[in-house]
Amino acid sequence: MSAIEMVAVTDVGIKRDHNEDCVNIDIGNGIAVLADGMGGHNAGEVASSMAVEFIMRLLKEGLKKFPQGKLDEDTGFSREAILARDSVVTVNNVIIETAQARPECSGMGTTVVVAVFYGNRIAVAHVGDSRMYLLRDDYLSHVTEDHSLIQEQVRRGLLTAEDARNSAIKNLVTRALGVEQDVEADVVEDIAVVGDIYMMCSDGLTDVVPDEAIRLTMLEHRNNLDLCAKTLINLANDAGGPDNISVILIRVKQPFSRKKGFFSRLFGG
């Protein structure tokens, strides 16, 4: 039995004629990557698939080079988290170079969210407004914070979360791959608890489906990730499906390697 269970689904939506989102998972290495491309003609697809493919490859190769869960003393982050961040930065340069070399790709860009699971931990790196959520018990929380104009205004206290959802400028991304040379990826590390369900998604879901609807759907279908992902995508399509929709769901199944305390064994906690 694998320690984690993963499902990835992407859908073109209702209003678009092609899918610029890209997803990929590697259960054996505990990696999941999701990207939402943008740019004229087919350039958005090029950018997002490049991001996913290259990050996947960089992570697979990089993860072999060090033991699991080793801490980098200088930064206080794990080697896995640093690798995830560096892969994102490397791919940014690759996308910029490609855009310069191929005129039809000029101006392409992509968001990306990357997750690496190791031991009882998770490292997440992201750029843009593709998100990761966590469902723990009955609670849904945001693991990532969007790099969007609206989110910056919320952070500065100028707008409430409610205003943000109704805003006309919610799709203005302030950071993306392929735009500027020195892109900065946000990195989050956390303890993954057995039973946690992580959800990565593109803004095609979150722009039209409120968090509470996501939470209730995940609660209802928490035992069937396949059905859960499809239901989430159906919700976005029922709401008009204005954009491409991608969802990756990850369930943490394996217990912590460390031994449980007397009381938690006694009470099954």
Partner 1 sequence: MSFKLVLKFKGTVISEFELDQEETTIGRKAETSIHIDNLAVSSLHARILKIGKKVILEDMGSTNGTMVNNQNVTKHILKHGDVITVGKHTLSFVEVADAKSPVVEAEPESDMDKTMIISSAAREELMTSPAKDNQDSAGSNMALGFIQYLSGPLMGKSVELKASLTSIGKGDNCKIKIKGMLVGKQAAVITRRPSGYHISYLEGMSKVKVNGETLTSAPKTLEDSDIIELSDVKMQFFIKK
**Which residues of the chain form contacts with partner 1 (CB under 8 A)?**
15, 36, 38, 71, 75-78, 81, 109, 111, 121, 129, 134, 136-141, 145, 149, 152-153, 155-160, 163, 168-169, 171-174, 176, 179-180, 184, 186-191, 193, 203, 207, 242-243, 256, 258-264, 267, 269
- At residue 112, φ and ψ (nearest 5 deg) are -155, 145
Q: Minimum Å distance from CB 25 to partner 1?
A: 22
The pair of structure tokens assigned to 45 is: 């697809």
The string of DSSP codes covering 55-77 is HHHHHHHHHTTS-TT-B-TTTSS
Q: Minimum Å distance from CB 149 to partner 1?
A: 6
Nearer to partner 1, 71 or 227 (CB): 71
The answer to whether residues 100 and 41 touch, using CB atoms and an 8 Å cutoff, is no
- Helices 211-220 and 225-238 cross at an angle (nearest 10°) of 150
Q: Minimum Å distance from CB 4 to partner 1?
A: 18
Nearer to partner 1, 171 or 231 (CB): 171
Strand order in the sheet with 131-136: 4-11, 245-252, 197-201, 131-136, 139-142
Q: Minimum Å distance from CB 116 to partner 1?
A: 13
Nearer to partner 1, 17 or 103 (CB): 17
